[in-house]
Amino acid sequence: MEERIDASATVRIARAGLEELCSRIFRALGIPGEEAQDSARILVAADARGIPSHGLAHLARYTAGIKAGLIKGGIIPQVLRETPLCRVLDAGGAMGMSLSRKSMDWVIAAAAGHGLGVSSIRNSNHFGIAGYYTEMAARAGCIGIALTNTAALGVPTNARTPMFGTNPIAFAAPGLGSDIFSLDMATTTVTRGRVEIAEREGRKLPPGWAVGRNGRATDDPVSLLEDLLYLRGGGLLPLGGEGAAGYKGYGLAVMVDILCALCSGGDFGAGVRDSAVTSARVCHFFMALRIDMFRDTEAFKTDMSRMLAAIAALPPAEGKERVYYAGQRARETEARNNRLGIPLEARVWERVKAEARELGVETPEES
């Protein structure tokens, strides 16, 4: 009889051991060393920051995509257009996380030389948490922007079928020392990963998250995920929900598609589709702006830290402990998890261990 696992149970694994485990799994599947290491670090970073929807819960979709030949290692992307400031690539199905790390390195280098760097990429794969890349730019003394389209999961205002993805937007700007304003947000009310977590935990969806095939609110994560996979209708609501503010998330999602897909010549809107095996081929956009194009960098960072301190010092609402600025909670969570071990849902950890056993990869001890 299959052992029942408590949906609320978690385990903790030391970060270095978890990164090495993921890297070995990718290498066992034929992904070259640097790409495997990049991908492992970015995947584990999501769980470390308290974003389990984009962490190791997603590993099975990567491994399935690699086995099916839809996600490929060792790809040299095709340069479609290039200037000193801008590069457009066809990724050729490359590992999205490693490619994105290298692409942000490229735009940072372009910004260092010319003040601005930008890249639009088509035919890539899921790239993990967008904030990972913008924080790279912030640590290099730049303002960073990262966007990606995703499979069509979001329903436009007044529609009943998906036309855009969760299409996240990330933006980061540096302050003094380790201070960083780091916004990483979906343009839908929630990501699909949050729905998948609700499904695993046997919970209903809260109001305002999604609509079913008829365009009316649904609280059933199982039927919603099946309907999205098989294109039956229904989907996630845009940021702002069903009311008058829904046009904001809807419009931002289309903006992301324009910069990611239309600028690179990639798939957009309902043309971006997941399969039963793996996530869709997607498009990305990266930008870095050198701060001293606008003003003295240290003066900017000083004002940035002053702004963040002022936000954090605001009196909290009744019943609330603190006011956070974007990225602060994730950074504090990451520091705590680096000490205690990275938390994983027990069910997710069992799936990771099963994948490792199949590939002959040894798993680390739980903390």
d(CA 324, CA 31): 39
Surface-to-core class of residue 96, CB atoms within 10 Å of its CB (0-12 exposed, 13-18 middle, 19+ buried) = buried
Domain with 93, as residue range(s), is 10-295+334-359
Residue 171: what pLDDT?
98
pLDDT tens across 280-301, in order? 899 999 999 999 999 999 999 9
Q: Could you tell me if residue 326 is inside a domain? A: no
Average pLDDT, whole number, for the chain?
94
Residue 115: what pLDDT?
97
Residue 5: what pLDDT?
45
Q: Could you tell me if residue 366 is inside a domain? A: no
Residue 34: what pLDDT?
97
Residue 1: what pLDDT?
29
Q: What is the mean pLDDT of residues 14-26?
A: 98
Q: Could you tell me if residue 304 is inside a domain? A: no
Share of the chain above pLDDT 90, in %: 85
Q: Could you tell me if residue 119 is inside a domain? A: yes
pLDDT tens across 2-17, in order? 333 455 689 999 999 9
Q: Could you tell me if residue 267 is inside a domain? A: yes
Residue 229: what pLDDT?
84
Q: What is the mean pLDDT of residues 59-70?
A: 93
**From 66-80, 115-129, 186-200, the region with the lowest mean pLDDT:** 186-200
Residue 218 has pLDDT above 60, yes or no: yes
The DSSP code sequence of 154-219 is BPPTT-SS--B----EEEEEE-STT-EEEEEE-SBSS-HHHHHHHHHHTPPPPTTSEE-TTSSB--
Residue 53: what pLDDT?
87
d(CA 183, CA 255): 17
Q: Could you tell me if residue 17 is inside a domain? A: yes
Q: Could you tell me if residue 203 is inside a domain? A: yes
What is the domain count for the chain?
1
* CATH classification of the domain holding 79: 3.30.1370.60
Q: Could you tell me if residue 303 is inside a domain? A: no
pLDDT tens across 66-116, in order? 999 999 999 999 999 999 999 999 999 999 999 999 999 999 999 999 999
pLDDT tens across 316-332, in order? 999 999 999 999 999 99
pLDDT tens across 239-276, in order? 998 777 889 999 999 999 999 999 999 999 999 988 87
